[in-house]
């Protein structure tokens, strides 16, 4: 039994933010009907290489990008620009609990697929719109993409080497966080509907989510009224909390409190650091990071990574290596937690990163691969 197997989702979204949300719902058991244009489908189907290889080692039309966000869904090919397609979608809505879409503001109104039109058919419908900038405001009509939102929303100004250029994060975190906010909002709206019988429209913007993700850094500015700088791998509010060069590569040190710092100082062979008024508290260490960090750097450069990692592990000091993606997925902890799953696919099978949620009663089921284009059209 799955947690959300009683729900049916009509997924009009494409690319990443919307599909990420609907994959989360599919993982928890919801029936997700992914509507795709008959000619080409979701844009990400062509975002490769790499493409999934079949049993003979030949590339298929299924890109790795598309595969990462569409597990557990049914693909139905419908031309929503045609009157027939619009009528078919309005008929499908009658038996759906949720609609998710990420078209431009007002883009579905001309098709009669906007919230007001569909709520007239199904008043208890939960309808989630994901756009770049939301349903109102001076930028509402503009398209929004993760990269530009990372820049506009301030994230790039605090990411990267302090002496280098601003950097985006290595994955599309604005899209991904927006997808997760969408999942939370949809489940909350469904809880409200179940109590009241009333549906609602959810207005989610990548820009809003990016601002919310600034978390403690935005709070630092709002409270301290000082523009946050780039710290590279260091932390604005904790020291030492960054990467350091050992004799054979880099290691992460993530000291979270004064007790851990005392043990770390001993590990470095400088127990006196913890008694020094300049470093005894986190507040003092933040204020004196320009003095302390070079001292730590000199100490860590004397031994290889293995020495520091094993030492931190034995003393309960958070820290570790900087893994590549293959190394991260091969970590014994990743293997123990089942971080990679292999799902049967028409091409043979597909490996995917597992959903991180571990339910005790309603486990995630991995029996439905990302669908091929229009695979389930006849069933709907």
Backbone φ and ψ of 229, nearest 5°: -85, 175
C-alpha–C-alpha distance, residues 199 and 23, integer Å? 22
Determine whether 116 is an active site residue. no
Report which DSSP code applies to 318: -
Q: How far is CA 152 from the centre of its chain?
A: 19
Residue pointed to by tokens 């049914």 = 74
Catalytic choice (97, 114, 175, 208): 175
What angle in degrees, to the nearest 10, is found between the helix axes of 173-196 and 17-27? 50
**Sign of CA pseudo-dihedral 126, 131, 134, 135:** negative
Pairing of strands 98-101, 8-11: parallel
The answer, yes or no, to whether the previous bond of 300 is cis (omega within 30 of 0) is no
How many whole angstroms separate alpha carbon 101 and alpha carbon 34? Answer: 10
What Å distances lie between residue 252 and 153, 160, 162, 298, CA to CA?
28, 16, 18, 15
Distance of alpha carbon 4 from alpha carbon 26, whole angstroms: 8
Q: CA 19, CA 12: separation in Å to the nearest integer?
A: 9
Half-sphere exposure of 227 (CA within 13 A, CB side): 6
Residues 342, 346, 348, 351: is their CA dihedral positive or negative?
A: negative
**Separation in Å, CA 362 to CA 3, 18, 28, 29:** 6, 24, 8, 9
List the structure tokens of 259.
């007790």
Cα separations (Å) of 51 from 47, 59, 68?
Answer: 9, 6, 12
The secondary structure of 111-123 as a DSSP string is: GT-SHHHHHHH-T
Q: How far apart are CA 242 and CA 240, in angstroms?
A: 6
- The first and second tokens of residue 118, run together, are 């569909």
Within a 10 A sphere around the Cβ of 257, how many other Cβ atoms? 11
Catalytic residue annotation: 175
């Amino acid at each position: 039994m799955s947690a959300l197997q009683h729900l049916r989702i009509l997924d009009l979204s494409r690319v990443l933010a919307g599909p990420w949300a609907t994959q989360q719902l599919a993982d928890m058991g919801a029936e997700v009907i992914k509507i795709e244009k008959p000619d080409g489908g979701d844009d990400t189907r062509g975002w490769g290489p790499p493409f999934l290889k079949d049993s003979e080692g030949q590339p298929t039309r299924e890109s790795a990008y598309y595969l990462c966000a569409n597990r557990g869904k049914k693909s139905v090919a419908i031309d929503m620009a045609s009157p027939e397609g619009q009528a078919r979608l309005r008929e499908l809505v009658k038996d759906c609990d949720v609609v998710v879409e990420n078209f431009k503001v007002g883009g579905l109104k001309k098709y009669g697929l906007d919230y007001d039109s569909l709520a007239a058919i199904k008043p208890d419908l939960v309808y989630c719109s994901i756009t770049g900038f939301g349903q109102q405001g001076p930028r509402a009509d503009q398209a929004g993409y993760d990269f530009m939102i990372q820049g506009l929303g301030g994230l790039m100004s605090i990411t990267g080497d302090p002496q280098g250029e601003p950097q985006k994060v290595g994955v599309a975190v604005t899209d991904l966080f927006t997808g997760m906010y969408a999942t939370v909002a949809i489940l909350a709206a469904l809880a409200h509907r179940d109590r009241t019988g009333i549906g609602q429209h959810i207005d989610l913007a990548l820009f809003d989510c990016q601002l919310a993700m600034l978390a403690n850094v935005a709070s630092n500015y709002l409270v301290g009224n000082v523009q946050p700088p780039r710290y590279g791998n260091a932390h604005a509010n904790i020291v030492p909390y960054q990467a350091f060069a050992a004799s054979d590569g880099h290691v992460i040190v993530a000291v979270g409190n004064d007790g851990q710092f005392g043990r770390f100082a001993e590990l470095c062979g400088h127990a006196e650091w913890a008694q020094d008024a300049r470093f005894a508290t986190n507040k003092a260490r933040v204020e004196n990071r320009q003095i302390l960090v070079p001292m730590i750097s000199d100490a860590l450069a004397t031994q290889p990574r293995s020495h520091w990692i094993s030492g931190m592990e034995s003393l309960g000091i958070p820290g570790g290596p900087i893994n590549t993606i293959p190394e991260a997925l091969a970590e014994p902890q990743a293997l123990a937690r089942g971080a990679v799953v292999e799902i049967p696919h028409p091409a043979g099978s597909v490996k995917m990163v597992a959903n991180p949620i571990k339910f005790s009663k309603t486990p995630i089921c991995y029996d439905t691969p990302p669908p091929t284009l229009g695979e389930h059209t006849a069933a709907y």
